[in-house]
Chain A
Amino acid sequence: MRILIQQIINGLTTGSVYALIALGYTMVYGIIELINFAHGDIYMVGAYGGLIALTLLGTMSTALHLSGMGALLVGLMAGMLLAAAYGFTVEKLAYRPLRKASRLSLLITALGVSLFLENFVMIGQGASDKTYVSIGMLNRNFIVGGVSITMSQIVIFIAAFAIMLGLDLFINKTMTGRAMKAASQDPVTVQLVGINTDRIISLTFVIGSALAGAAGVLVGFYYGVINFSIGYLAGMKAFTAAVLGGIGDIGGAMVGGLVLGLLESLGAAYLSSEYKDAFAFIVLILLLLIRPSGLFGSSRS
C-alpha cells in the first residue's frame, strides 16, 4: 500500500511534466497538423535556459541574494523565455515556408530541427551531464505515514497546475485565445473573418514552447541533472500523452500526461523497471490501433 501511494505520487509528478510538454504538441497539431518532433528539444532548451540564468545569477548573487522562491521564479521565467524564443524562431524559419508543402516534407523538417537543436546545445554546452542549480528549499522532504514527498514534487504540481490554469483562462477568456481555439477548429474560416492565421500560429508556438520550457526547468530542479539529449525521450512521452488525451484536445493533453505518468511509475514498480521506457511506446501503439482519437476523443479523426 505504501509503495502504491509512493508510486502514485511519483507518477503524478512526472505526469504533470508530461502534461506541460504535451500541451505544446497538442496545440500545434490542432492548428497545423504537424507532429512537431522538435518540441522535446525545445523543452531541453528551456531547461538549459533556466540553468544558465541561475548560474549567471549565482556568480553575482552576493549582491542580489535571491531567496529560494525568487530563484525558482527567475529560473522558470528564463527557461520559458528562451524556449519561447526558440519555438518562435523555429516556426518562422523552418515551418512557415513549408505551409503548403507536403506533410512528409514538414515531418522531415521537424526531424531536422530536432537534430539541429540537440547538436546546437551539445556544441554550446558540452556533451556531459550538467548539474542543476540546487535550491535548498526544494530539497526538503516530508514523510507522511511512511510515504515521502519532496518539496520539489509539490512545487511541480503547483507550478504545472497554475500554468495550465493560466492557459485555460487565456484560451477561453481572451479574444486572442478564442481566436486560437477557432483557428484549430477551422483555419480557413478563421482567416475569412479577419484573423491573421500566421500570427495565431506563431503565438501557438510561443505559448507551447514556453510551457515546455517551464517543464524543462521543473525537471531540472527535480532530477538535478540535465543533458542535451533529454528532449527526445521526454518529447516522445509527451507526444504519447497528447495522443492519449486525443491530439488537438487541450484538456485531454493534461489528463493524458497524468495518466501516462501514473502508468509508467506503476508499471515500473509492478511489472518491470527495465522496460519502463518502453511502456510509453507500447501504450502509444496500442492506443493508435484501438482508439486513435484518444481516450475521450470523439470519432472525428
Chain B
Amino acid sequence: MSARAKVRAALRSYIVPPLWMFAIAMPIMGLLKSMVSAGLLVAGLILYRTLKGPKSIGAVRRGGYQEAVARYMHGQLPGYLRRYGPALVLAVSIVLPLFMNNYDIDVFTSALFYTMLALALNLLVGNIGLLNLGYIAFYGIGAYTYAILHAMLGLGFWDAVLPGGVMAAVVSLVIAIPTLRLKGDYLAIVTLGFGEIVRIVFNNWDSLTNGPNGIMGIPRPSLLGLQLSTGIRFFYLTLAFVIVEVYVLYRIDRSRLGRYALAINENEQASEMVGINTYRVKAIYFMLSAFFGGVAGVLFASKQMFVSPDSFTFIESVYVLAMVILGGMGNIAGVIAGAFTLVVLPEMLREFVLYRMLIFALLLITMMLFRPEGLLGRRAYHDR
C-alpha cells in the first residue's frame, strides 16, 4: 500500500466516522457530549482494529475462556468439577446471603426472579426457537391472579401458586392456538401486541384490577407456621422455586418432548416429516413457558405485596429476553448467568443511572454483532 493510500484508508476509518457521528449527535446531545462520544468511537475503532486480524477476537475466543467453558459443557473438565459445579453454585447461594446486608439480599432475590423468568422464556426462545416479545404478560397474569384471588376470596399464597400458573398457561393457549401457525416475525409481533393489550387491560379494568393504582395488601407467604416475611427468608423461598424450576426444565429438556423441541428448532419441516406434531409441541412449550412465568408472578406479587400495571411493561419483556440472549440461548447455566449479570451489573453502575439503559442497549447490539450465540453459547447437541 502506498503512503497515500494508507493515509486515505486511515482517514476513512478513523476520521470520517467520528466526524459523521459528531455531526449527527450534535443537535441532540450538544457540543460536549458529542465530542466525548466521537472520541469514544475512535477509541473503540482502534481497539476493534487491533483485535481484528491475525491476533483477532476470534483467536482469543478459541483459546480463552470459551474453550474452558466448552470443555466444561462437553464434560471434558475433571469429573469432580462437572459433577459438583451445580452443587457448588447452590452451596454458595445458600451460604452467601447469611453474610449479606438487606439491600444486597434484595438485589440477589431480584436476580432470582429474573432467573425464573429468563429460564422460562428460554424454553421458548432457546429450546424451540419461538420469539415471544410479550412474555412479561404471563408474569403479570400470575401476579394479578394472586392479587385478585386474595382480594376476592381471601386465598393465601400457597393456594394461589397453581391457579396463577394455570391461569397464565390457559391465557397463553388462547393466544397460541391461532398464532403458532404464523411465521417467526409475525409471531414476535403478535406476542408483543398481546403483551400490550394485557397491560392496557390491567390499566383499565377498574372493577377487577383497580386500574393504574394497582392492588395492595397482598400477604407474604408462610410455611409450616413460619412467616416468610423477612428478606432472607423470602430469598430462600425464591431460591427453592428456582431450584424446582431448574430441575423441571432440565428434565423436560431431556425428555422425549425436549428432543422434539430440539428437532423443531433445528428444522421444523424435517421434524414434521418424521412424524412430530410440531404444532402440538409448540403449543405445549408455549403453555409450559407461560405456566412458569405465572408462578413467578404469584411469587412476585407476594414479595412486593402490591401489583400495578407499571411492573409489566414492554421494556421488562425486552430485559428478560436480553438475559436469555446474553447468557446463551438454550443453555440453562448460561441463562442463569445472563440473568445475574443483567441484575447485578446495573447495581454496580449505580452512579451512571442515566446511562444504564443506553449501555444496556449498546450491549444488546454489540452482542448481536459479535457473539449472537451469547456468552456461553448453545450446548453442543451431539453430546447430550
Contacts and interface: CB of A to CB of B under 8 A. Distances in A.
A102 B360 CA distance: 21
Contacts of A301: 183
B362 A35 contact: no
Given A115-B364, A232-B314, A275-B204, A288 B189 contact: yes
A82 B29 CA distance: 13
Contact of A103 (B20, B184, B321): B184
B314 A116 contact: no
B372 A101 contact: yes
Nearest to A107: B188
A241 to B, nearest CB: 13
Residue among A102, A112, A123 with the highest chain B CB neighbour number at 10 A: A112
Contacts of A111: 318, 321, 364
Residues of B in contact with A, size category: 35 or more
B24 A85 contact: yes
B30 A109 contact: no
B16 to A, nearest CB: 12
Contact of A120 (B28, B185, B192, B363): B28
Interface residues of A, number: 52
A23 to B, nearest CB: 18
B271 to A, nearest CB: 18
B30 A116 contact: no
Given A49-B27, A108-B325, A292 B365 contact: no
A269 interface: no
A132 interface: no
Interface string B197-231: 10011001000000000000000000000000000
Interface in B266-319: 314-315, 318
Contacts of B54: none
Interface in A42-89: 45, 48-49, 52-53, 82, 85-86, 89
B20 A89 contact: yes
Given A35-B189, A116-B362, A292-B186, 12 more contacts: A48-B28, A49-B27, A101-B372, A103-B184, A104-B131, A124-B29, A243-B189, A278-B201, A281-B193, A284-B189, A284-B193, A289-B190
Interface of A: 33, 35, 45, 48-49, 52-53, 82, 85-86, 89, 94, 97-98, 101-109, 111-116, 118-121, 123-125, 232, 236, 239, 243, 274-275, 277-278, 281-282, 284-285, 288-289, 292, 301
Interchain residue pairs A-B with the least CB separation, the first 8: A112-B364, A281-B193, A116-B361, A115-B361, A112-B365, A124-B29, A124-B28, A119-B358
14 contacts: A82-B24, A89-B20, A101-B368, A104-B131, A106-B368, A109-B365, A109-B369, A243-B189, A278-B197, A281-B197, A281-B200, A284-B190, A285-B197, A288-B189
